[in-house]
Chains A and B, each alone.
Chain A
Amino acid sequence: QFHVQESGPGLVKPSETLSLLCTVSGAPMNTVGYYWAWIRQSPGRGLEWIGSIHYTETTYYKSALESRVTISMDTSKNSFSLKLTSVTAADAATYYCATMASRDLGFDPWGQGILVSVSS
């Protein structure tokens, strides 16, 4: 069973790049079939899928964020990362990483989440 945990700065300045890391434990993250995802929740709003990376390193991004998002994986460190450029106040949110064994099986488990504020 996988366990995932987010880490990174809790404060980012406007126009700068938000960088978060998700550390995976319990099994190799290049296990066949698995997807690794970033999902966020802005204050007072619902869950928003940001993007995912497949174990083949194929990436999928939400179209509205695609120009600013990069998700990559480092199998040697069993981790994957999120980079979101040119952040604004609208990017302030709790960011979750999660995994999915296949598209039909749902995101499970999720990390505890990391709150990221955007302010100068």
Chain B
Amino acid sequence: QSVLTQPPSVSEAPRQRVTISCSGSSSNIGSNSVHWYQHLPGKAPKLVMFYDDVLSSGVSDRFSGSKSGTSASLAIRGLQSEDEADYYCAAWDDTLNGWVFGGGTKLTVL
């Protein structure tokens, strides 16, 4: 059971827009920055978003992030097959005194 809650999977057609949600609490998302990672099988996870909504260097501007209260979202517009991956949110948790990850969301581009 992950501290941050993500949908296990999402799917959408190419060139469409998809949103991945991440729900937490006041001790993590509600009071600290959210990061998003893209993880392809057999590869190192890649930071795509930090500070809730800041695009990491080299990441396509088709990616965007947002946060409201204790929830955050990662949106990808103009979906491409190369976006198929697992996506994880993460944040520092003041109560646990450590980083917590979401359970991950598998994005399928139909």
What number of A residues sit within 8 Å (CB to CB) of B? 25
Residues B100 and A108 in contact, CB atoms below 8 Å apart: no
* Chain B residue nearest in CB terms to A4: B44
Q: How far is the CA of A96 from the CA of B39 in the complex (A)?
A: 12
Residues A110 and B35 in contact, CB atoms below 8 Å apart: no
Q: Contact mask B46-66 → A, CB, 8 Å, 1/0?
A: 110111000010000000000
Q: Contact mask A84-120 → B, CB, 8 Å, 1/0?
A: 0000000000001010000111111111110000000
- Which B77-105 residues have a C-beta within 8 angstroms of A? 86, 88, 90, 92, 96-104
Residues B98 and A61 in contact, CB atoms below 8 Å apart: yes
Residues A47 and B101 in contact, CB atoms below 8 Å apart: yes
Chain B interface helix/strand/loop/mixed: strand
Residues B99 and A46 in contact, CB atoms below 8 Å apart: no
Residues B45 and A47 in contact, CB atoms below 8 Å apart: yes
- Which A18-47 residues have a C-beta within 8 angstroms of B? 37, 39, 46-47
Residues A104 and B51 in contact, CB atoms below 8 Å apart: yes
Which of these, A52, A105, A107, contacts B45 with CB under 8 Å?
Answer: A107
- Given A112-B44, A113-B44, are A49 and B88 neighbors across the interface (CB < 8 Å)? no
Residues A106 and B35 in contact, CB atoms below 8 Å apart: yes
Binding site for B on A (CB under 8 A): 37, 39, 46-49, 51-52, 60-63, 96, 98, 103-113
